[in-house]
């Protein structure tokens, strides 16, 4: 007993010192939490969920978000000189550009369980990796459609039905961030000419959506519009939060990825790795199921816990695979063409389609005036090879295309209209 | 029984009263989803609707640190707490407190001041930290430091044997970059309040609030208006927004939060939030003068004015009706008023001349030493708090599962919040403690139905 007491007495001071030291260390660790600087354009709903869960998992780090949209983010990387640890955002072009600039460093993460592709769609390239994907499709309001006696549109071509006139939401790719691949999916999927023909036919029924205050899902949920072309997560999140909507992935669809990379000038490399590891982990990937996020995880194992009716791209086997690289390379051209063919000429386009439809009903589809007017309607200012050969797009080209299409639509109206 | 019936009828019908136009004004929403706090009142003119949607975009916007190419959404910081309104007011709902010292303040902030008052009667800001601790800084600008909440837990036993654990927060700071805080610093940790129904509260006439102040009340309940400085009107006016009714209007509240929480200047707060001694902050680039033009401020203001309030639910349920009676018997309704009338409101006509059920009197009440922050705010003393509105409170956890209650989010449940009531509300708290478990549950059912 005496020896036990002696040992206890002997340990008393070292134990006290240890306790004091631990207390000090804990205070210091509170004070000196290392920040992890993440550049993103994700909306607050996404950032908040990941911030909370990451800081809980890694209490030694505090997430500091630098929010910038794609264009501004590139300017920041080129000009600011301030360190950023991780770039994590849906902006595929930026990642390609930054890869060329050798702005990233190797992830050096265990990528076990993360496939390199889904249905032929690459999920990693160079030093950047996809952290989620989103799919394109059609949002509709089943109740409002039923009330109008119309079926739910399931394919892009369904959106050109004359009964949907004035009831379709069509996002403008030069204004709405997610829309360029959406338009190009139709061009690649149906072919250049047929794709533009279909876009014109849909536009004849559509209201255009720009980067203003309303969302496609708002207008469709309210019943003011009946359907729209969109990306899945807006609708999936609205549905999860109670909106009376439905989303369909048409047979021809494609994905838009968000990527993550560790910057070469990362000030906190360990923190950057911890955040990257977290985003790609089972826990991080499951956060994508949150009702306010609803993106598609890139780690197949987490789909075992997916909410009901959640789309699993790893179980989908589409006949068509969207070529993202090709889409990105010609994005500026297709955006400008969309504006020339549709955005800036919408009233003329809609009038031309109506006039041709009326003439066709009256005189038959093979009547010479109808054939001639259709020919004018569908004559594009440039073919696919010509569009892809353009190195630098000039404002004069855009103005010329716009004028050409305007004149063709007006001529089509004149030819198709009764004299 | 008659009073229950009349209350039920009043609750069921009070929102379809005609506004000044021909269309009946709907200032409540039957939406019970997670978007319940994000619905617009009806009718709105086309112009008002457009402003509402623009305002919604701005309230949801993540702001950018200057310099930036997207100049219309730039100007964040250089010192700030969060980069978007909805970072704290998620889905327009209330914020929450961290669960321990290691967690960041994500929907909460800490007010700071020195003893005394400025010439306007406002709290005196600290010369190096201003009136609020900002935990983030733009690249190259040091953040002010971090606040940590430590909790001390106690157990309360209620009639019937139920025990409730209450957590009392204590604030500590770390990483203070602009020097130590003095011993006499006054602090107040506050979670973000919900932002729906604010237009209806603004549409209540000053005279109505003064009449409520003068009205005799049961027991030791008193209640008085806060008199605050209006930057816009350049005079003392009645305060009605903020945890201490320390702000006069939705517009001033919005501009104040934009400046204080995000460092965004407006014509009402032209200098953002850099404190007197923060030279680097003052020299940082700005995106415009001011960063929030009057049009954007007006859009954000209109969005909040026009946010509808969730309708009460389950009002036919006898348990809820019994709870409503207990709510009155426990004198809760003396401050959490079930009925107030708004007056003419030209800014948004649909809000005018409505009988509403906000469950607040917008008055300050002494809530006792346990809730006191010992930080006066205009005429409010440390233990005085404005009666928070209870409308829509039953959906709080659905909208934000972490939602907290009381000014510092210490209460994790409505029952915990009741058990923190002291001072003028001590008697009510005691009555709730002494209620049979069944009655207490019915009372909570009623509050959850709001």
CA-based nearest residue in chain A for residue B51: A213
- R_g of chain B computed on alpha carbons: 21
The average pLDDT across A300-324 equals 93
- Give the pLDDT score at B22: 55
User: What local confidence, expressed as pLDDT, does residue B21 receive?
Assistant: 46
The answer to whether residue B153 neighbours chain A at the CB level (below 8 Å) is no
Chain centroid to CA B371: how far? Answer: 16
Query: Distance between CA atoms of A81 and B123, rounded to whole angstroms?
Result: 39
Of residues A65, A74, A80, A275, the one with CA closest to residue B137: A65
Q: Can you give the pLDDT at residue A215?
A: 81
Most B CBs within 10 Å, among A72, A84, A235, A287, to test the B interface: A72
Residue A9: per-residue pLDDT:
56
**Is residue B366 within 8 Å of residue B222, measured between CB atoms?**
yes
Which of A59, A82, A213 shows the shortest C-beta gap to B140? A82
Residue A25 has pLDDT above 50, yes or no: no
pTM: 0.90
Q: Which residue of A has its CA nearest to B141?
A: A82
Q: Is the pLDDT of residue B164 over 90?
A: yes
SS3 B361: coil
* Tens-digit pLDDT profile for residues B298-337: 999 999 999 999 999 999 999 999 999 999 999 999 999 9
**What band does B188 get if pLDDT is binned at 50, 70 and 90?**
very high
Burial group, residue B98, by CB count within 10 angstroms (0-12, 13-18, 19+): buried
> Among B432, B420, B426, B433, which residue's Cα sits nearest to residue B372?
B420
Residue in the structure block whose two tokens are 């104040």: B256
From chain B, the residues in CB contact with A71 under 8 A are 69-70
Q: Which two tokens stand for residue B88?
A: 């704290």
Pairing of strands B74-76, B64-65: parallel
CA A263 to chain B, closest CA, distance in angstroms equals 16
Does the CA dihedral B411-B417-B420-B421 come out positive or negative?
Answer: positive
Q: Predicted confidence band at B284 (pLDDT cuts at 50, 70, 90)?
A: confident
Cα–Cα distance, B350 to B356 (Å, whole number): 13
List chain A domain ranges: 32-133+256-315, 330-419
Interface of B with A in 168-197 (CB under 8 A): 174-175
Mean pLDDT value across residues B238-255: 98
Task: Work out the minimum CA distance from B256 to partner chain A, whole angstroms.
Answer: 21
Cβ within 8 Å, pair A67-B86: no
**What is the pLDDT at residue B8?**
39
H-helix or E-strand containing B147?
strand B146-157
pLDDT tens digit string along A98-133?
Answer: 999 999 999 999 999 999 999 889 999 999 999 999
* Chain A interface residues (partner B, CB cutoff 8 A): 27, 30-33, 37, 41, 43-45, 47-48, 51-52, 55-56, 59, 62, 64-69, 71-72, 75-76, 80, 82-83, 212-214, 218, 241-243, 291-292
Return the pLDDT at A29: 43
Confidence category of residue A214, pLDDT binned at 50, 70, 90: confident
Average of pLDDT values for B275-283? 86
Cβ-Cβ contacts under 8 Å, B60 against chain A? 43-44
pLDDT score, position B1? 39
Q: What is the tally of helices (H) and strands (E) in chain B?
A: 13, 17
Smallest Cβ distance to B35: which of A59, A80, A242?
A242
Quick one: which of A293, A294, A260 has its CA closest to A274? A260
Domain boundary assignment for chain B: 2-449
Smallest Cβ–Cβ distance between B139 and the set A44, A82, A242 belongs to A82
User: What residues contact A308, with CB distance under 8 A and at least 6 apart?
Assistant: none
The third-level CATH classification (topology) of the domain covering A32-133+256-315 is: D-Maltodextrin-Binding Protein; domain 2 (3.40.190)
Band (pLDDT 50/70/90 cuts) for residue A10 is low
pLDDT tens for residues B342-398? 999 999 999 999 999 999 999 999 999 999 999 999 999 999 999 999 999 999 999
Q: Report the residue of A33, A53, A63, A68 to disrupt the B interface, i.e. the one with the largest count of B CBs within 10 Å.
A: A68
DSSP tally for chain A: helices H, then strands E:
17, 14
Q: What is the mean pLDDT of chain A?
A: 92
Q: Inter-chain contact A30–B101, Cβ cutoff 8 Å?
A: yes
- Average pLDDT along chain B: 93
- Does the pLDDT of residue B9 top 80, yes or no? no
Residue B148 near chain A (CB below 8 Å):
yes
User: Does the pLDDT of residue A91 top 60, yes or no?
Assistant: yes
Which of A45, A51, A72 is facing B64, going by the closest CB pair? Answer: A72
Portion of chain B with pLDDT greater than 70, in percent: 95
pLDDT at A30 over 80: no
Residue A20 pLDDT class (50, 70, 90 cuts) = very low
- Does B140 contact A at CB distance below 8 Å? yes
Buried b (16+ CB within 10 A) or exposed e, A70-89: bebbbebbeeeeeebbbbbb
**Using one digit for the tens of pLDDT, what is the confidence trace for A370-380?**
999 999 999 99
What's the residue count for chain A? Answer: 419
CA atoms within 13 A on the CB side of A219: 23
Interface test with A, best of B174, B181, B284, B310 (most A CBs within 10 A): B174
pLDDT of residue B273: 86
Residue A186's contacts (CB-CB under 8 Å, 6 or more residues apart) are: A156, A195, A198, A199, A252
Q: What's B40's DSSP letter?
A: B
Cβ <8 Å between B62 and A44:
yes
Q: Is any Cβ of chain A less than 8 angstroms from the Cβ of B90?
A: yes
Instruction: Kindly list the residues from chain B whose CB atom is less than 8 angstroms away from the CB atom of residue A94.
Output: none
* Tens-place pLDDT, residues A52-79: 999 999 999 999 999 999 999 999 999 8
- Rounded distance between C-alpha atoms, residue A94 and residue A83, angstroms: 17
Q: Note the pLDDT of residue A330.
A: 96
């Amino acid at each position: 007993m005496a020896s036990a007491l002696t040992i206890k007495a002997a340990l008393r001071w070292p134990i006290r010192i240890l306790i004091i030291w631990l207390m000090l260390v804990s205070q210091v660790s509170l004070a000196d939490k290392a920040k992890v600087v993440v550049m993103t354009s994700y909306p607050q709903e996404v950032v908040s969920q990941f911030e909370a869960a990451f800081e809980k998992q890694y209490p030694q780090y505090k997430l500091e978000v630098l929010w910038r949209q794609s264009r501004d983010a590139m300017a920041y990387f080129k000009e600011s000189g301030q360190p950023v640890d991780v770039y994590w955002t849906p902006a595929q072009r930026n990642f390609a550009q930054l890869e060329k600039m050798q702005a990233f460093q190797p992830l050096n993460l265990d990528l076990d369980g993360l496939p390199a592709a889904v249905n032929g769609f690459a999920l990693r390239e160079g030093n950047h990796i996809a952290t989620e994907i989103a799919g394109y499709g059609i949002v509709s309001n089943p109740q409002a459609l039923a009330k109008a006696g119309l079926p739910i549109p399931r394919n892009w071509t369904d959106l050109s039905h004359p009964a949907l006139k004035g009831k379709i939401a069509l996002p403008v790719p030069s204004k709405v961030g997610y829309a360029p691949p959406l338009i190009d999916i139709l061009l690649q999927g149906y072919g250049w000419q047929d794709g533009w023909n279909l876009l014109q036919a849909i536009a004849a029924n559509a209201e255009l959506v720009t980067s203003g205050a309303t969302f496609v899902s708002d207008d469709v949920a309210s019943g003011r519009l009946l359907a729209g072309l969109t990306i899945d997560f807006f609708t999936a999140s609205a549905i999860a939060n109670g909106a009376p909507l439905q989303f369909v992935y048409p047979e021809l669809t494609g994905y838009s990825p968000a990527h993550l990379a560790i910057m070469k000038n990362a000030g906190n490399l360990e923190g950057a790795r911890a955040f990257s590891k977290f985003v790609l982990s089972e826990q991080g990937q499951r956060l994508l199921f949150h009702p306010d996020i609803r993106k598609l995880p890139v780690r197949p194992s987490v789909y075992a816990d997916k909410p009901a009716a959640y789309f699993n791209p790893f179980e989908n086997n589409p006949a068509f695979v969207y070529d993202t690289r090709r889409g990105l390379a010609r994005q500026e051209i297709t955006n400008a063409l969309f504006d020339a063919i549709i955005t800036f000429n919408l009233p003329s386009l809609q009038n031309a389609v109506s006039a041709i439809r009326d003439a066709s009903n009256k005189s038959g589809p093979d009547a010479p005036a109808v054939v001639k007017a259709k020919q004018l309607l569908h004559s594009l200012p440039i073919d696919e090879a010509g569009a892809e050969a353009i190195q630098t797009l000039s404002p004069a080209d855009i103005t010329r295309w716009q004028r050409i299409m305007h004149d063709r639509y007006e001529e089509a109206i004149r030819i198709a209209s009764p004299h | 029984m008659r009073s229950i019936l009349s209350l039920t009828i009043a609750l069921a019908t009070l929102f379809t009263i005609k506004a000044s136009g021909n269309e009946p004004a709907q200032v409540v929403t039957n939406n019970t989803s997670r978007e319940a706090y994000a619905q617009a009142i009806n009718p709105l003119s086309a112009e008002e609707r457009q402003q509402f949607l623009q305002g919604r975009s701005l309230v949801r916007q993540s702001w950018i640190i200057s310099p930036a190419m997207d100049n219309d959404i730039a100007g964040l910081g250089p010192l700030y707490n969060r980069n978007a309104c909805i970072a704290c007011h998620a889905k327009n709902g209330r914020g929450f407190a961290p669960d321990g010292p290691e967690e960041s303040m994500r929907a909460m902030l800490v007010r700071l001041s020195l003893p005394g008052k400025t010439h306007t009667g406002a709290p005196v800001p600290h010369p190096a930290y201003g009136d609020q601790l900002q935990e983030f800084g733009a690249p190259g600008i040091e953040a002010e430091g971090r606040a940590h909440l430590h909790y001390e837990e106690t157990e309360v036993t209620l009639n019937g044997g139920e025990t409730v654990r209450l957590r009392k927060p204590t604030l500590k700071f770390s990483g203070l970059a602009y020097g130590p805080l003095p011993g006499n610093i006054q602090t107040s940790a506050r979670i973000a309040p919900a932002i729906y129904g604010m237009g209806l509260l603004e549409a209540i006439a000053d005279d109505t609030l003064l009449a409520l102040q003068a009205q005799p009340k049961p027991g030791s309940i008193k209640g008085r208006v806060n008199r605050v400085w209006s930057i816009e009107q350049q005079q003392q006016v009645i305060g009605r927004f903020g945890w201490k009714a320390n702000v006069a209007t939705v517009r001033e509240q919005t501009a104040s939060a934009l400046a204080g929480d995000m460092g965004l200047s407006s014509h009402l707060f032209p200098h953002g939030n850099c404190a007197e001694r923060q030279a680097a902050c003052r020299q940082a680039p700005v995106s415009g003068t001011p960063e929030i033009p009057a049009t954007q401020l007006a859009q954000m203001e209109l969005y909040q004015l026009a946010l509808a309030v969730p309708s009460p639910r389950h009002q036919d349920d006898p348990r809820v009706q019994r709870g409503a009676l207990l709510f009155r018997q426990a004198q809760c309704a003396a401050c959490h008023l079930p009925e107030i009338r708004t007056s003419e409101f030209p800014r948004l006509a649909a809000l005018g001349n409505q009988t509403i059920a906000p469950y607040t009197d917008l008055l300050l009440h002494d809530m006792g030493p346990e809730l006191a922050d010992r930080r006066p705010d205009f005429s409010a003393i440390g233990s005085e708090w404005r009666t928070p509105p209870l409308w829509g409170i039953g959906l709080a956890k659905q909208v934000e599962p972490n939602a907290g209650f009381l000014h510092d989010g210490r209460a994790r449940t409505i029952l915990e919040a009741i058990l923190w009531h002291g001072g003028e509300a001590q008697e009510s708290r005691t009555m709730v403690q002494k209620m049979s478990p069944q009655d207490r549950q019915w009372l909570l059912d009623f509050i959850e139905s709001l």
